[in-house]
């Protein structure tokens, strides 16, 4: 347990947490919506400092990040808790669990994570992922500082539901983000995640303006967020506000947790792929077996640059260093 960052004290030992847009106002003994931060006698504490629920080595493509050190590995850690409550969550066993109820934590220090990252083969750094990493902000911050000092990379895979001040505080330490943009309608956020759209858009704008590497994932759920017009508005917004070079991963939905619907039809994904490609240079389909829609091509001459088959990645173009060697167009891929 550790005192939390970003909160203020009010009368009668009440605390107000400023980490995320919920601004939970907690009386002594109460726990925030994220299920990991608690008011203990007028002090906000986090129950997940040093408390790791999942640790493993993944390919960077699995985050998914396709334009950030393709073919490399990343040591990945997760804890428990989330500040959104999505009815379709793929990791609900750790994200929707109270820290105090979770029985399988491993106590792991930031120093131990760094040592493991340095020992791991073909590894570029540490990814904060699996559950919502901003709910273990304090531990992520301290670990990211050590990781950065050793010139390794920090990657955050997040729902983007965080306030501006804590986001800006950690931005200089984070090399790459994959942010979920779950829909482009506030009603969807309200009904299926319990959150709001606007803070996520703000997070995306801040990350893009700061020029951290950014990729976006959109899970396409049939009948819920697959309206053609709204989808086109979303990709136009990404292109206009964030940049046409931002990679967009369209992910196929499969039934999960509380939401049981048929999987996204492949035709719908292909249609959205075509729509998104009108505005964005790099669009990918995820959760499907489709090499053609997972590979990276030059946005200008369409030369094949990086081939992907599931999580097997091959740099195809000779001497590719992020810019197409055939025509000289940047492909916005970070290679070193
Ligand atoms: S981080 Fe947790 S406690 Fe803080 S405002 Fe968000 S949900 Fe509430």
Please write the tens of the pLDDT for every residue from 29-56: 999 999 999 999 999 999 999 999 999 9
Q: Please choose from 6, 22, 29, 137 the residue to mutate so as to test ligand 1's pocket, defined by most ligand atoms within 8 A of CB.
A: 22
Q: Is 267 exposed, middle or buried (0-12, 13-18, 19+ CB in 10 A)?
A: exposed
C-beta separation of 273 from 226 below 8 A: no
Nearest CA to ligand 1 atom 6: 20
Tell me which residues have their CB closer than 6 angstroms to ligand 1. 17, 19-20, 22-24, 32-34, 37, 83, 135
CATH for 51-294?
Answer: 3.20.20.70
The residue to mutate among 4, 21, 31, 34, having the most atoms of ligand 1 within 8 angstroms of its beta carbon, is 34
Using the atom order of ligand 1, give the atom closest to the CA of residue 32.
3
Q: Can you tell me the distance from the alpha carbon of 48 to that of 80, in angstroms, rounded to the nearest whole number?
A: 8
Instruction: Compute the distance from residue 55 Cα to the ligand 1 centre, in Å.
Output: 24
Q: Count how many residues are written for the chain.
A: 336
Can you tell me which atom of ligand 1 is nearest the CA of 36? 2
Res 260 pLDDT > 90? yes
pLDDT in tens, 123-145: 999 999 999 999 999 999 999 99
Using the predicted structure, report yes or no on whether residue 121 has a pLDDT greater than 80: yes
- Mean pLDDT over 263-272 rounds to 97
Residues 161-172 have a mean pLDDT of 98
Name which residue leads in pLDDT, 145 or 91. 145
Tell me what pLDDT residue 292 has. Answer: 86
The atom of ligand 1 lying closest to the CA of 83 is 7
Q: List Cα–Cα distances, 87 to 37, 189, 192, 257, in angstroms.
A: 22, 11, 6, 6
What confidence category does residue 217 fall into, taking pLDDT thresholds of 50, 70 and 90? very high
Average confidence (pLDDT) over 204-229: 97
* Residue 55 half-sphere exposure toward CB, CA atoms < 13 A: 19
Residue nearest to atom 5 of ligand 1 (CA): 23
**Block residue for tokens 């292109």:** 239
Mean pLDDT of the 257-270 span: 95
- Atom from ligand 1 closest to the CA of residue 44: 3
Q: What is the pLDDT of residue 229?
A: 98
User: What is the location of CATH 3.20.20.70 in the chain?
Assistant: 51-294
Alpha-carbon distance of 261 to 336, in angstroms, equals 41
Q: What is the per-residue pLDDT for 336?
A: 83
The model's confidence at residue 62, banded by pLDDT at 50, 70 and 90, is very high
pLDDT at 309: 87
Question: Percentage of the chain with pLDDT > 70?
Answer: 100
Instruction: Please tell me the distance between residue 194's alpha carbon and the centre of ligand 1 in angstroms.
Output: 13
Report the separation in Å between the CA atom of 32 and the middle of ligand 1, taken as the mean of its atom positions.
Answer: 5
Q: Does the structure show a pLDDT above 90 at 289?
A: no
Question: 221 CA to middle of ligand 1, Å?
Answer: 27
Question: 323 pLDDT band (50/70/90 cuts)?
Answer: very high
Question: 100: Cβ–Cβ under 8 A, 6 or more apart, which residues?
Answer: 31, 38, 47
How high is the pLDDT of residue 170? 98
Burial class (CB in 10 A: 0-12, 13-18, 19+), 288: middle
Average pLDDT, the chain: 96
Given this model, what pLDDT does residue 267 score? Answer: 97
């Amino acid at each position: 347990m550790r005192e939390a960052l970003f909160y203020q004290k009010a009368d009668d030992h009440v605390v107000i947490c400023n980490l995320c847009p919920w601004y939970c106002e907690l009386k002594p003994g109460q726990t925030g919506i994220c299920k990991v931060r608690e008011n203990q006698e007028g002090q906000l504490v986090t129950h997940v400092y040093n408390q790791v629920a999942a640790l493993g080595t993944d390919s960077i493509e699995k985050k998914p990040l396709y334009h950030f050190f393709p073919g490399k590995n990343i040591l990945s850690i997760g804890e428990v808790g989330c500040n959104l409550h999505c009815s379709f969550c793929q990791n609900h066993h750790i994200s929707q669990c109270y820290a105090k109820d979770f029985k399988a934590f491993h106590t792991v220090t930031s120093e131990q994570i760094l040592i493991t990252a340095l020992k791991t083969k073909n590894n570029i750094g540490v990814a904060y992922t699996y559950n919502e990493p901003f709910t273990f902000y304090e531990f992520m911050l301290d670990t990211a500082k050590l990781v950065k000092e050793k010139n390794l990379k920090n990657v955050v895979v997040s729902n983007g539901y965080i306030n501006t001040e804590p986001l800006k505080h950690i931005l200089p330490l984070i090399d790459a983000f994959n942010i979920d943009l779950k829909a482009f309608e506030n009603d969807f956020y309200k009904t299926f995640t319990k959150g709001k759209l606007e803070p996520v858009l703000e997070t995306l704008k801040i990350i893009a303006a700061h020029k951290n590497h950014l990729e976006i994932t959109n899970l396409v759920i049939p009948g819920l967020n697959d309206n053609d017009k709204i989808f086109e508005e979303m990709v136009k917004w990404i292109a206009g506000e964030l940049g046409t070079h931002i990679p967009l991963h369209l992910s196929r939905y499969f039934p999960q947790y509380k939401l049981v619907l048929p999987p996204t039809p492949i035709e719908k994904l292909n249609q959205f792929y075509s729509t998104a490609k009108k505005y964005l240079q790099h669009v990918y389909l995820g959760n499907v077996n489709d090499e053609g829609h997972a590979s990276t091509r030059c946005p200008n001459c369409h030369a094949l640059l990086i081939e992907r088959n599931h999580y097997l990645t091959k740099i195809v173009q000779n001497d590719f260093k992020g810019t197409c060697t055939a025509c000289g167009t940047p492909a916005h891929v970070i290679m070193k």
